[in-house]
Structure 1
Amino acid sequence: MRQLREVRLQSKAIKDITNGYPLILKDAIEPSTSEMDEGSLLHLVDKNGGYIATGYYGMQNKGIGWVLTRKEKEQIDKKFFAKKISEAVAKRANLYTSEDTTAFRVFNGEGDGIGGLTIDFFNGFYMVSWYSEGIYSFKEDIYQALDEVVNTRGVYEKLRFHTNGQYVGQDDYVSGEKGEFPLIILENKMKYAVDLNDGAMTGIFLDQRNVRKALHDHSNGKTVLNTFSYTGAFSVAAALGGSLGTTSVDLAKRSLPKTIEQFQVNDINHESQDIKVMNVFDYFSYAARHQLKFDIVVLDPPSFARTKKMTFSTAKDYPKLLKDALDITNEGGTIIASTNNASFNMKKFKTFIDKAFKEKNTRYKIIEEYQLPEDFTVPHNFPEFNYLKVVIIKVMN
């Protein structure tokens, strides 16, 4: 039997939640949460017991749970989840009918009304990601709801709430057809290989779809450096866009075979491209020593990374990253600066860019900006949930 707890909200939290804020912060409630079970339903009330909203208790790095409804009589059951998923699917109707793109986000957590849950579509297969034990406790109702709303070729899942945020390897298959991997998906007519049963990652970050298209459209006749390249998705986009050559740099050893695979599924000779398995900052030094310069440099680092030599954080080290990139960018060239760090907004990100260029005594012009694509719905009036920030910068001198 699911626990139902009446929880009194602090006055500031009442205003925020009444105005549509979906996240329940730890300091938003008065009683202790120590005796609550993950997945408990929270009847959120004011100091007089007046109803505000219903949520669920689920610990994750953002808070202690999420608001599900502001209707006191609404039941949190299979019908509720089916309604939410159905509304989300309807919003993506144009993507479902696209012949050019066969991978996208179907359900984006709090943006579609259920924080802690995302659902992605990969050429008929669905991948459900769970961000707390609390939301995972609803899995039976949610999987049944998903089956009612869409025709699933097969379903896989990612449990992203293990110890210290580390993903624990497991068989991610849930139901339906078992996929044969790599599975080939299309994105703006470009092919990418994905694996839904290979740890935390799939092989592509779907939130960068519009940025990859922009790179594709601007790469003709250009040399391109793709740093923190992962499986080389940006490099593929550049090569298909007519790049003179791409260089992909990532520290992870598996980036080499994964990047080769991405080139191969697009019939690109990987030997004509440069793939380096090394620390990006070491590569900057290497390139500077060898007087290598590029027309386009892609910077898409993780929010935080630690190696034996150094610790990198986008919140404090992005200006240094940009300055190193400037040293190997041709005059009149382009830097694609990206971050998915949700702890600062676009305005703050632009101060990092300005700082780096001023310290290098170099003029610049911002020519394009991107945030999350349309399928990554964010809550209305709460831009802090739009975590992706991408700025395309022209180097002026």
Structure 2
Amino acid sequence: MQALLNAIAQMALTDDAQRVFHGRGGMYPGCEQWSLDWFAPVWVLTSFKRVTDEELAQCHRALEARWQVLAPNQPLNWVFQSRVTGEAETRLMAGSVPEPHVVTEQGARYIVHVMRGQNHGLFLDMANGREWLKNHAQHENVLNLFAYTCAFSVVALQGGAAQVVNLDMSQGALAIGQQNHRLNDLPAKARFLGHDVFKTWGKINKMGPYGVVVIDPPSYQKGSFIATKDYIKLIRRLPDLLEPQGHVLLCLNAPELDTQFLHSQVTEAAPSLRFVERLANPAAFVDVSPEKSLKVLHYQNA
């Protein structure tokens, strides 16, 4: 775990939420189990394998030593989450977690919840996708599928979107999304639909067409979405949902599925779409095997 300890010893203090150490990218042999995130004012350390008390003590000493340099008059707040297969446990290791816990990213504010659940309310690896949408949303009608806590909607409206339609099966996630909109003093141009996308096409079509569509589904969620069989159903709808020259972001975070999986599905189900680019992931998420990392593909309608 020396690479993790080295990263802690060298890390800087920033205002924005971000990943500090990404062992899962395979760039640090022996540290593949570790990730460290900054959700100001809290550090969140995650392990995907079992750890010993001594390993956690080492991390605490490293965090404490660096914090004394970065913010000597402030308390150290850090949380440990164990993500061993079949288990998930989160522990407050030092300090406290604010409630509500609000973080920033590129001028936007978001509510996060690092002490409950495996997901914290903001996916840090999607920062570049959010920046892209903010820069492409002006005057557009935007459809945000699998909206979760609606971070894409927040940046779309900050970028001047005419309207955003957010759709997610989780009413709880959408409720946080509505809080995120209020937190950013955004105009009332967003809709929040707590529905199953596959049973809501009529309503989705009625509010279209869309200048931008964002599809960011779970790779595998039993009873909701399985990428290998369900993604193509979404792609098949895109030509009818999109305006001429409309844009779509196809997102996929499944190590076992590469970019060619999405390219092949587009070729089969929506050949009118033209591939433009794959968005780069944030530098902190560098991966020894890029095809295993998050894939965000930008296509444009004919």
1:106 matched to 2:24? The reply is: no
- Say what the alpha-carbon RMSD is for the aligned residues: 2.3
**Aligned AA for 1:297?**
V
For residues 135 and 332 of structure 1, the distance between their equivalents in structure 2, rounded to whole angstroms, comes to 54
* 8 Å contact from structure 1 (residues 85, 107) kept in 2: no
Q: Deviations over 1:220-257 (max 9, x none)?
A: 10011101000000000101100001111000120221
For residues 136 and 279 of structure 1, the distance between their equivalents in structure 2, rounded to whole angstroms, comes to 43
> What is the 5 A alignment of 1:1-397?
81=2, 84-87=4-7, 90=10, 93=12, 96-97=13-14, 102-109=16-23, 110-113=26-29, 114-134=31-51, 138-151=55-68, 153-161=76-84, 163=86, 167=88, 172-176=91-95, 178-269=96-187, 271-288=188-205, 290=206, 292-307=208-223, 312-358=225-271, 362=272, 364-379=273-288, 382-385=289-292, 387-396=293-302
| Secondary structure at 1:115 match in 2 | coil
**Aligned AA for 1:378?**
D
| Secondary structure at 1:143 match in 2 | helix
**Aligned AA for 2:18?**
F
CA drift at 1:384 = 4.3
**Aligned AA for 2:235?**
L
For residues 221 and 201 of structure 2, the distance between their equivalents in structure 1, rounded to whole angstroms, comes to 17
* 8 Å contact from structure 1 (residues 371, 388) kept in 2: no
Which has more radius of gyration? 1
* 8 Å contact from structure 2 (residues 136, 159) kept in 1: yes
**Aligned AA for 1:248?**
N
* 8 Å contact from structure 1 (residues 102, 185) kept in 2: yes
| Secondary structure at 1:301 match in 2 | coil
Distance 1:332 1:136, change over 3 A: farther
CA drift at 1:268 = 1.6
* 8 Å contact from structure 2 (residues 212, 248) kept in 1: yes
* 8 Å contact from structure 1 (residues 89, 106) kept in 2: no
| Secondary structure at 2:255 match in 1 | coil
For residues 9 and 109 of structure 2, the distance between their equivalents in structure 1, rounded to whole angstroms, comes to 23
**Aligned AA for 2:215?**
L
For residues 279 and 9 of structure 2, the distance between their equivalents in structure 1, rounded to whole angstroms, comes to 23
Distance 1:371 1:137, change over 3 A: farther
* 8 Å contact from structure 2 (residues 8, 66) kept in 1: no
TM-score, structure 2 length as denominator?
0.88
Please, which runs of 5 or more residues in structure 1 have no aligned partner?
A: 1-79
| Secondary structure at 1:225 match in 2 | strand
**Aligned AA for 1:372?**
N
CA drift at 1:298 = 0.4
**Aligned AA for 2:299?**
I
CA drift at 1:111 = 2.9
* 8 Å contact from structure 1 (residues 284, 328) kept in 2: no
CA drift at 1:162 = 5.0
For residues 36 and 63 of structure 2, the distance between their equivalents in structure 1, rounded to whole angstroms, comes to 10
CA drift at 1:261 = 1.0
Aligned positions, number: 293
Please, which runs of 5 or more residues in structure 2 have no aligned partner?
A: 69-74
For residues 186 and 339 of structure 1, the distance between their equivalents in structure 2, rounded to whole angstroms, comes to 24
CA drift at 1:173 = 1.3
Distance 1:136 1:238, change over 3 A: farther
| Secondary structure at 1:327 match in 2 | helix
* 8 Å contact from structure 1 (residues 112, 378) kept in 2: no
Distance 1:253 1:135, change over 3 A: farther
CA drift at 1:354 = 2.0
CA drift at 1:199 = 2.0
For residues 395 and 160 of structure 1, the distance between their equivalents in structure 2, rounded to whole angstroms, comes to 40
Percent of aligned pairs sharing the same letter: 24
| Secondary structure at 1:247 match in 2 | strand
Q: Which moved more, 1:251-260 or 1:146-155?
A: 146-155
Q: Which residue of 2 aligns with 1:58?
A: none
